[in-house]
């Protein structure tokens, strides 16, 4: 028994001594490329092997906002200044629209798209290639920084060193598929790339007290934040890293943090000049597709957020299923009576407590957990409403923390517990790493093809996010785009039925969903072209107008029906009823009511009821002269 305790004590001492060794950062970067040629080649080639197939993929999803339909991007070099001084959505909408809380100011990735457009035109091959290249460079920079923070043990083989294993797992992790395979995801890649660049320059600064290196760190951090706001969290992560893994004094850490803080303040100044505000406009979106927590009481909001934080951990540990769509109501609204919220609170709180208790010991798992929570904080919905319940791309940066923990477990904790001898290959560690890598590669290769085009992407979304109104609507839109170019009559009819199915499902989930209502109107119009059943068409339009009194499509199609002059009396009666009800049935909007009544008057200028209703609307609007003008038309 005594021998057993003595043996156990030796193991604990081995772990402790190794962790103590690990805390001494290696600032020597000379010979990095020659001494680490094999791991460098592996980490650089793997992203192309995993994502190379995406070179043949199309623009999808939000690519239209930042690339294909963005006027500033399509100006090329001459659009760069516009990108720098405006909201990131302005090039798409044509004006500043605050549809998401806090607005969006992420000019760096859009600038790269403008440069690509200048050189290659609208060419998704270039976009996908540069995403993969930047992802590969991120892996190399991650490896180089981790070599400085976690210098390999003397007995470690390169393929079982913590820096290489963590970087390898980062490259292979399937949860990164959305970021790499979706060109728009470049903002995430650039944010992490430049954030790690800032840490790298800081470590070089500490080595030689080099002011140029400190300046380089500040510039790199600024570029990271200009790519995406996530990089703001490195104002905490960088000092944390210095505390854990360097011999920097508190004074040095304070000076470095001060320089980084000035960089952050400069960013906010740039942001304010571009948007006119720092974070909040004072207006809250009432559309749950852009504000899923609108109208929720604080308890349900907190419980739902905690549930998503639990899902993030689950996705990092078990990345299945993967989907790009977590919009209402794929993530259910729950309260703290739901066990899922309580379990997430328990898991996250336990991890946080463990990490805080490990601060004095400067343990590697403690650092990794704090890295995870810090980088996730800004997109967690706890402090800032990000406009959606969750997204897999939000854990791209935090996943580094998980990769460090897994690498620590495989390369240091497990060998120490197994009392590994010098220069001995730990079969269990190798086996565990092999299983993880095989599983990650398989899942990534299965997931990447979903991003080929809008149809494949949305087909996967409705399979794994069946309760998302957005996924169902986008699936309907994707089929409708193919429907418009289909020439076979039977095939077109089947496709139109498929569109109807998904749009009906979207409206079943969220009856007031504007995009789905517009698509529903389009489907009604296409059916009308086939059967000319005006009663069915107008009944459908009535349903649409119950939730949205004005849509561009219904306006255009009503004008088309007027020009066609089919059953004018029926159409005029419908338009009169719509306008009358809007004005008088508790939905007092005389301007909108007048819009439809003018349509009715255009169809039948002799209808006395329509004229009376128009007079009433003008009176409500305070336009006495117009009211009198129409009053003169009354018999």
Q: What is the mean pLDDT of the chain?
A: 91
Q: Which CATH class is domain 567-635?
A: mainly alpha
Q: What are phi and psi of 70, to 5 degrees?
A: -100, 115
Query: Distance between CA atoms of 410 and 161, rounded to whole angstroms?
Result: 9
Query: Distance between CA atoms of 503 and 520, rounded to whole angstroms?
Result: 6
Query: Distance between CA atoms of 401 and 413, rounded to whole angstroms?
Result: 16
- Using the predicted structure, report yes or no on whether residue 15 has a pLDDT greater than 60: no
- Using the predicted structure, report yes or no on whether residue 497 has a pLDDT greater than 70: yes
Nearest to 189 by CA among 278, 272, 262, 127: 127
Q: Which residue has the tokens 């992420």?
A: 106
Query: Distance between CA atoms of 560 and 566, rounded to whole angstroms?
Result: 10
- Using the predicted structure, report yes or no on whether residue 283 has a pLDDT greater than 80: no
pLDDT tens track for 295-310: 999 999 999 999 999 9
Query: Distance between CA atoms of 204 and 312, rounded to whole angstroms?
Result: 34
Alpha helices in 85-176 (DSSP H): 90-93, 107-120, 124-149, 162-172
Task: Please answer whether residues 232 and 225 qualify as being in contact, where contact means their C-beta atoms are separated by less than 8 angstroms.
Answer: yes
Alpha helices in 532-566 (DSSP H): 534-547, 552-564
3-state secondary structure of 361: coil
Give the sign of the dihedral formed by CA 95, CA 99, CA 103, CA 105. Answer: negative
User: pLDDT band at residue 71, thresholds of 50, 70 and 90?
Assistant: very high
pLDDT tens track for 579-599: 888 876 544 588 889 989 999
Give the sign of the dihedral formed by CA 131, CA 135, CA 140, CA 141. Answer: positive
Nearest to 229 by CA among 275, 164, 183: 275
> Which helix (DSSP H) or strand (DSSP E) does residue 11 occupy?
helix 2-22
**Which tokens in the block code for residue 299?**
């308890």
User: pLDDT band at residue 546, thresholds of 50, 70 and 90?
Assistant: confident
User: pLDDT band at residue 205, thresholds of 50, 70 and 90?
Assistant: very high
pLDDT tens track for 23-38: 333 434 457 888 899 9
How many degrees, rounded to 5, is the angle at CA 43 between CA 157 and CA 438?
80
Please check whether the two domains, 468-563 and 567-635, share a CATH topology.
Answer: yes
Task: Please answer whether residues 512 and 547 qualify as being in contact, where contact means their C-beta atoms are separated by less than 8 angstroms.
Answer: yes
Task: Please answer whether residues 469 and 506 qualify as being in contact, where contact means their C-beta atoms are separated by less than 8 angstroms.
Answer: yes
Task: Please answer whether residues 356 and 319 qualify as being in contact, where contact means their C-beta atoms are separated by less than 8 angstroms.
Answer: no
Per the model's pLDDT, the better-predicted residue between 533 and 416 turns out to be 533
- Using the predicted structure, report yes or no on whether residue 20 has a pLDDT greater than 70: no
What pLDDT was estimated at residue 37? 94
pLDDT tens track for 40-51: 999 999 999 999
Query: Distance between CA atoms of 523 and 501, rounded to whole angstroms?
Result: 10
* Residue 3 Cα distances to 6, 294, 378, 417, 421, angstroms: 5, 63, 51, 16, 19
Task: Please answer whether residues 315 and 176 qualify as being in contact, where contact means their C-beta atoms are separated by less than 8 angstroms.
Answer: no
Q: What are phi and psi of 245, to 5 degrees?
A: -125, 5
Least confident of 158-162, 311-315, 417-421: 417-421
Q: What is the mean pLDDT of residues 401-420?
A: 91
Q: Which residues of 39-73 are buried (b: 16+ CB within 10 A; e: fewer)?
A: bbebbbebbeebbeebeebbbbbebebbbbebebb
Task: Please answer whether residues 479 and 455 qualify as being in contact, where contact means their C-beta atoms are separated by less than 8 angstroms.
Answer: yes
**pTM for this structure?**
0.91
Q: Which residue has the tokens 């299923």?
A: 321
* Residue 571 Cα distances to 539, 589, 599, 616, angstroms: 11, 21, 9, 21
Q: What is the CATH number of domain 468-563?
A: 1.25.40
- Using the predicted structure, report yes or no on whether residue 196 has a pLDDT greater than 90: yes
Any residues with CB less than 8 A from the CB of 352 and at least 6 apart, and which? Answer: 369, 373
Nearest to 151 by CA among 420, 412, 423, 419: 412
Give the sign of the dihedral formed by CA 139, CA 423, CA 245, CA 166. Answer: positive
The full set of domain ranges for the chain reads 468-563, 567-635
Query: Distance between CA atoms of 532 and 552, rounded to whole angstroms?
Result: 21
Q: Which residue has the tokens 């605050």?
A: 98
């Amino acid at each position: 028994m005594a021998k057993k305790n003595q043996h156990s004590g030796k193991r604990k001492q081995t772990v402790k001594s190794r962790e103590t060794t690990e805390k001494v950062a290696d600032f020597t970067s000379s010979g990095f490329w020659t001494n680490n040629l094999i791991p460098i080649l592996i980490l650089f080639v793997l992203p192309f092997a995993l994502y190379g197939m995406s070179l043949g993929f199309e623009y999808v999803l939000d690519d239209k906002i930042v690339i294909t339909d963005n006027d500033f991007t399509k100006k090329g070099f001459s659009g760069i200044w516009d990108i720098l001084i405006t909201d990131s959505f302005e090039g798409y909408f044509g004006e500043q629209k605050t549809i998401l809380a806090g607005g969006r100011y992420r000019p760096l990735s859009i600038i790269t798209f403008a440069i690509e457009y200048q050189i290659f035109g609208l060419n998704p091959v270039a976009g996908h290639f540069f995403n993969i290249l930047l992802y590969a460079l991120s892996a190399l920079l991650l490896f180089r920084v981790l070599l400085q923070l976690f210098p390999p043990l003397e007995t470690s083989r390169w393929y079982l060193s913590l820096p290489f294993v963590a970087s390898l797992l980062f490259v292979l992790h399937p949860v990164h598929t959305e970021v790499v395979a979706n060109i728009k995801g470049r903002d995430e890649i650039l944010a992490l790339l430049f954030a790690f660049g800032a840490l790298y320059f800081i470590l070089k600064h500490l080595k030689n007290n080099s002011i140029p290196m400190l300046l380089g760190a500040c510039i790199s951090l600024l570029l990271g934040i200009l790519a995406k706001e996530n990089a703001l969290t490195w104002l905490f992560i960088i000092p944390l890293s210095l505390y854990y893994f360097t011999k920097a004094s508190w004074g040095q850490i304070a000076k470095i943090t001060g320089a980084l803080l000035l960089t952050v303040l400069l960013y906010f100044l740039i942001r304010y000049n571009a948007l006119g505000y720092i974070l909040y406009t004072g207006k809250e979106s009432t559309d749950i597709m852009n504000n899923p927590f609108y109208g929720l009481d604080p308890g349900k909001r907190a419980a739902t957020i905690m549930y998503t934080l639990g899902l993030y951990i689950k996705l990092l540990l078990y990345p299945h299923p993967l989907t790009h769509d977590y919009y209402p109501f794929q993530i259910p609204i729950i309260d703290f009576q739901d066990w899922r919220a309580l379990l997430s609170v328990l898991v996250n709180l336990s991890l946080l407590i463990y990490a805080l208790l490990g601060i004095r010991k400067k343990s590697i798992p403690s650092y990794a957990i704090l890295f995870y929570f810090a980088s996730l904080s800004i997109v967690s919905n706890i402090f800032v409403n990000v406009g959606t319940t969750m997204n897999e791309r939000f854990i791209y940066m935090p996943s580094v923390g998980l990769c460090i923990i897994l690498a620590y477990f495989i390369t240091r904790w497990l060998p120490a517990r197994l009392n590994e001898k010098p220069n001995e290959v730990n079969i269990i560690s190798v086996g565990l790493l092999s299983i993880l890598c095989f599983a990650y590669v398989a899942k990534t290769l299965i997931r990447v093809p979903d991003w080929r085009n809008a149809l494949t992407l949305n087909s996967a979304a409705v399979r794994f996010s069946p309760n998302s109104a957005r996924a169902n609507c986008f699936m309907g839109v994707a089929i409708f785009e193919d429907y418009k170019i289909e020439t076979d009559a039977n095939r077109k009819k089947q496709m139109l039925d498929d569109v109807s199915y998904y749009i009906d499902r979207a409206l079943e989930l969220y009856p007031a969903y504007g995009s789905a209502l517009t698509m529903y109107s389009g489907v009604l119009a296409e059916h009308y072209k086939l059967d000319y059943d005006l009663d069915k068409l107008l009944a459908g339009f009535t349903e649409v107008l119950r939730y949205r009194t004005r849509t561009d499509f219904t306006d255009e199609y009503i004008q088309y029906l007027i020009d066609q002059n089919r059953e004018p009396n029926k159409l005029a009666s419908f338009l009169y009823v719509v306008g009358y009800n809007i004005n008088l049935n508790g939905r007092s909007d005389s301007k909108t009511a007048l819009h439809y009544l003018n349509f009715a008057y255009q169809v039948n200028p002799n209808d006395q009821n329509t004229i009376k209703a128009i007079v009433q609307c003008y009176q409500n609007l305070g336009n006495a002269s117009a009211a009198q003008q129409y009053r003169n038309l009354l018999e």
